[in-house]
Amino acid sequence: MELKRRTYKPLGQLLIESGLLTQDQLEKGLSLQMEKGGLIGQILVSLGYVSEKDIAQAITVQYGFPYLPLENYDFDKNMVKIIPENVARQYGLVAIDKMGDIITVAMSNPLNVQAVEDIELITHAKIQIFVSTLGDIQKILDSCYKENKK
């Protein structure tokens, strides 16, 4: 899977240009990232500077992945379950549709090439990626797999 950027502006710069983040906030986030590691988007969300949705939409601008809000999405539990729960939770993704040998997957981090390759191996299908928030994905996974928790 080859990722092709639509813009070479860093995520933080896109958030500043859209008025969602200040330069000071970005610098604090980058400092924390250098200190502790992690993805800058997740760090900015954890600091309360931006929302998961803001990050997802900025990634769509950077890479051209379509954004799919899942809060009102009518999903099929059997479709979701074609990816094992532990794999779906590990990678922050959910299968939402299948047409032929292509599975549509909503991911919180569509840049995770390893996740896409693993899902292709598990499902024996090609993967079409949409971007969604981790919170929305986790709600769907919790809903689909709650019977396993009893």
Residue range 75-97, pLDDT digits in tens: 888 899 999 999 999 999 999 99
Q: Which residues contact 82 (CB under 8 A, 6 or more apart)?
A: 95, 98, 103, 123
Q: Checking phi first, is residue 17 left (phi over 0); if not, alpha (psi -120 to 50) or beta?
A: alpha
CB 103 within 8 A of CB 51: no
- Is residue 59 predicted with pLDDT exceeding 70? yes
The pTM score is: 0.81
Architecture of domain 77-149: 2-Layer Sandwich (3.30)
CB 20 within 8 A of CB 9: no
Task: For residue 89, give the amino acid letter.
Answer: R
Sole residue written with tokens 């590990």? 90
The full length of the chain comes to 150
Per-residue confidence at 150, pLDDT binned at 50, 70, 90? very low
Instruction: Report in angstroms the alpha-carbon separations of 86 from 43, 82, 94, 102.
Output: 23, 12, 11, 21
Sole residue written with tokens 């995520």? 11
**Domain ranges across the chain:** 11-63, 77-149
pLDDT per residue as tens digits for the range 2-52: 556 566 778 899 999 999 999 999 999 999 999 999 889 999 999 999 999
Angstrom distance (rounded) from CA 131 to CA 100: 21
Per-residue pLDDT, averaged over 57-75, amounts to 86
Task: For residue 59, give the amino acid letter.
Answer: I
pLDDT at position 97 is: 92
Lookup: tokens for 4: 């092709």
Q: Which of the pair, 146 or 110, is modelled with greater confidence?
A: 110
Per-residue confidence at 137, pLDDT binned at 50, 70, 90? very high
- Is residue 61 predicted with pLDDT exceeding 90? no
pLDDT per residue as tens digits for the range 98-125: 999 999 999 998 888 999 999 999 999 9
